[in-house]
Amino acid sequence: MTQSAAYQRLTARFARIATIQEAAAMLGWDAAAMMPEGGAAARGDQLAVLAGLAHAELVAPQVADDLADAEAAQPDPGADQWAAANLRLMRHAHTRASALPGALVEAQARENSACEKIWRQARSRADFALVRPALETVVRLVREQAQALAPALELAPYDALMDGYQRGIGAADVAPVFADYETFLARALPAAEARQAALPAPVRPAGPFPVAAQEALCRRLSERLGLDFTHARLDRSAHPFSGGTATDVRITTRYDEADFAQAVLAVVHETGHALYERGLPAAHARQPVGEAAGMAAHESQSLIVEMQAARSDAFLAWLGPELHAAFGGDLAPYAPGNLARLWRRVERGFIRVDADEMTYPAHVILRFRLEQALVGGDLAVADLPGAWNDGFRALLGVTPPDDARGCLQDIHWYDGAFGYFPSYTLGAMAAAQLMAAARRAVPGLDAALGQGDAGPLLGWLRVNVHGRGSLLGFQDLLRAATGKPLDPADFEAHLTARYLG
């Protein structure tokens, strides 16, 4: 289909916006992985200016005219589904951006950056009072953002924030799923703990594990899973993450010489994110339709690699000898059964990123409820530590001993990311559903994993998830790949088979 001149102008503009955002992404990676402390203030200014530039491009007067002309000139959305989807996503992005004053966009970029730097110190000292004033500013701006977006998107304020991370999913969709899971967890967790107690206690490999050896192993493992390091880097940061761009992916981890598992499993997780970025449709690069289908979709890709594939019995049988070759010592701790007891151990711990896959959703449910209260004005920032501890105790029966292991542990709120947390558990549920479909569609998938070969799984994901970009929304993506929308029963079946079978 011949594209109108208006649509061509829009694609050029959105490519420019994406390029500005890529520059911001690289500065964000540098701030977390390389930048000295003294660069923080200037970096905040740089990110604020880039956010303002991208916003100004998106709300420029001609954009509204071009959108109207392109929509009017589009004779048949079915003739070019990619262009039709791209135009819808452009309209959505313009609607969101037009609802936000440029001054608010820049203020959020600046204040989020400043708060995140203070949060690092506060977490290291377990001192919530240190970051509280900065977080109050961030929350005030988030409330302004939500109130501005809500009428434009015809959504409730908190749903408008969720929309920025996963379109088409709101609190009313998530709340019953989480309530059902809370009921499942109350029954399944004690049963899993009892079954676990009856098994031999796992043996931890004896360290130390030199950082250089861990780093080399992590890179080899990431490559084995399919990441091409001519388009990727592996670095260190306080909080593991995946960033950069689709052609220049940056993954990070952190190392502990007493325990290599933290680094290895974080790299496997972030490699899943990176593989998704690398598999996005290159023909639609720097266009909304060429982006990932949202953060729940993104989490499904990190978790299908980490939890579904890399922690499977088959893959652990291959990985054990690789770990022993890297670190030496007694062979017994690297036996697949022992690794399974180590890395699939359920525990009522305090730290979300270290949580097992059964209790992890409880961490997310807590954050989902608290951030709704913060955004809605029902919870004051000053009362966050107490509300956190009460909620955690209600969900998992234990109370964090300090705020570093409580409300200070995650970067998200201190960096202004509200509405993100539900994506983690929606992604875990989607990962189980996708893995079940992949196993049905790809004979020998587990046999390949037993040889350390993730190629068959990656090939299926390239076709059914990665290559579709944002052509489909989250639920339609799952329908196309698995034959049904999100079905939490697949996740519960996976947990039951792994921890109660």
Report pLDDT digits (tens) over 84-135: 999 999 999 999 999 999 899 999 989 999 999 999 999 999 999 999 999 9
Rounded Cα–Cα distance for residues 251 and 259 (Å): 20
pLDDT of residue 312: 97
Q: What is the mean pLDDT of residues 81-86?
A: 95
**Contact status, residue 165 vs residue 294, Cβ threshold 8 Å:** yes
Rounded Cα–Cα distance for residues 7 and 281 (Å): 19
Report pLDDT digits (tens) over 461-482: 999 999 999 999 999 999 999 9
pLDDT band at 77 (very low <50, low <70, confident <90, very high): low
Rounded Cα–Cα distance for residues 462 and 469 (Å): 10
Using alpha carbons only, how large is the chain's radius of gyration in Å? 23
Name the DSSP letter for residue 378: S
**Sequence-ordered list of residues with C-beta below 8 angstroms from that of 295, at least 6 positions apart, any chain:** 165, 166, 420, 423, 427
- Report, as residue numbers or ranges, the catalytic residues: 270
Q: What is the mean pLDDT of residues 163-187?
A: 96
Q: Is the pLDDT at 75 greater than 70, yes or no?
A: no
pTM equals 0.94
pLDDT of residue 46: 94
Report pLDDT digits (tens) over 321-377: 999 999 999 999 999 999 999 999 999 999 998 899 999 999 999 999 999 999 999
pLDDT of residue 124: 95
**Sequence-ordered list of residues with C-beta below 8 angstroms from that of 226, at least 6 positions apart, any chain:** 271, 275, 454, 455, 458
Domains of the chain by residue range = 5-163
Report pLDDT digits (tens) over 243-294: 999 999 999 999 999 999 999 999 999 999 999 999 999 999 999 999 999 9
Q: Is the pLDDT at 1 greater than 60, yes or no?
A: no
pLDDT of residue 33: 93
Rounded to 5 degrees, φ, ψ at 122 are: -60, -40
Beta bridge partners of 249: 232, 244
pLDDT of residue 44: 87
Query: Which two three-digit tokens encode residue 445?
Result: 């998938």
Place of tokens 């992949």: 438
| Sheet-wide strand order for 242-245 | 232-236, 248-253, 242-245
Fill in the amino acid letter for 435. M
Q: Are strands 232-236 and 242-245 parallel, antiparallel or unpaired?
A: unpaired
**Sequence-ordered list of residues with C-beta below 8 angstroms from that of 460, at least 6 positions apart, any chain:** 438, 441, 442, 445
Rounded Cα–Cα distance for residues 127 and 135 (Å): 13
pLDDT band at 419 (very low <50, low <70, confident <90, very high): very high
Rounded Cα–Cα distance for residues 238 and 117 (Å): 12
pLDDT band at 74 (very low <50, low <70, confident <90, very high): confident
pLDDT of residue 498: 97
**Contact status, residue 423 vs residue 298, Cβ threshold 8 Å:** yes
Q: Which helix (H) or strand (E) holds 408?
A: none
pLDDT of residue 2: 67
3-state SS class at 420:
coil
Rounded Cα–Cα distance for residues 450 and 321 (Å): 12
The chain-wide mean pLDDT, for the chain, equals 96
